Amino acid sequence: TAGPTHEPIDPVRYIANRSSGKQGFAIAGALAALGARVSLIAGPVALPTPPGVTRIDVETAREMAAAVEAALPADAAVMVAAVADWGAEAAGLKIKKQDGVLPSLTLVENPDILAGLARHPQRPRLLVGFAAETNDVIDHAIAKRQRKDCDWIVANDVSGDVMGGDANTVHIISADRV
């Protein structure tokens, strides 16, 4: 998976995040170049599809979860997407602006696709999660690996101007080392 998800508020507005998709697309391209058969389940980004990769475009976290399910079985899953933790109870019609009235949003929890895969009867043999943290990066990533029950966590320090950039440094956390 790669990129952000868009969670509709109404037919013209959505909640999103700053994920560019670059990291996930680069990994998908690298895996294909190594000879893997790659399904890239991409949130809304305008990046070109890497050579040799089968791309499935989705918008919401729920659509991404369904596309991941449809891509199984897989030997490995690399879950790079910045999936929105919450969607909104979306209005069917555009919410109209009214002077002095602020609309309220009701958020609903999205499925955790990575944690779902960890419990799945067809769990891929290698399950790689990602973490984007601004502080205590390694400690948070170690805890996340245990909580989500994946094999590795790739920890990104996003405290600087990292999101959207072309260069990045990561820590890879497995059960026994960093």
Please report how close the Cβ of residue 128 comes to ligand C5P at its closest, in angstroms: 8
Q: Which is nearer to ligand C5P, 20 or 110 (CB)?
A: 110
Dihedral sign (CA 111, 114, 115, 116)? positive
- Closest residue to ligand C5P using C-beta atoms: 113
What does the alpha-carbon distance between residue 53 and residue 16 come to, in Å, rounded to a whole number?
A: 25
Query: Annotated catalytic, 17?
Result: yes
Please report how close the Cβ of residue 8 comes to ligand C5P at its closest, in angstroms: 16
Q: Which is nearer to ligand C5P, 13 or 120 (CB)?
A: 120
The candidate with the shortest Cα–Cα distance to 28, out of 11, 16, 45, 15, is 45
Strands 53-57 and 38-42 come out as parallel
Structure tokens at 132: 């984007």
**Residues making contact with ligand C5P (CB under 6 A):** 1, 61, 79, 81, 83, 85, 110-114, 129-131
Q: Are 61 and 81 in contact (CB under 8 A)?
A: no
The enclosing H or E element of 108 equals: strand 107-109
What does the alpha-carbon distance between residue 128 and residue 104 come to, in Å, rounded to a whole number?
A: 36
DSSP state of 160: S
Catalytic center residues: 17
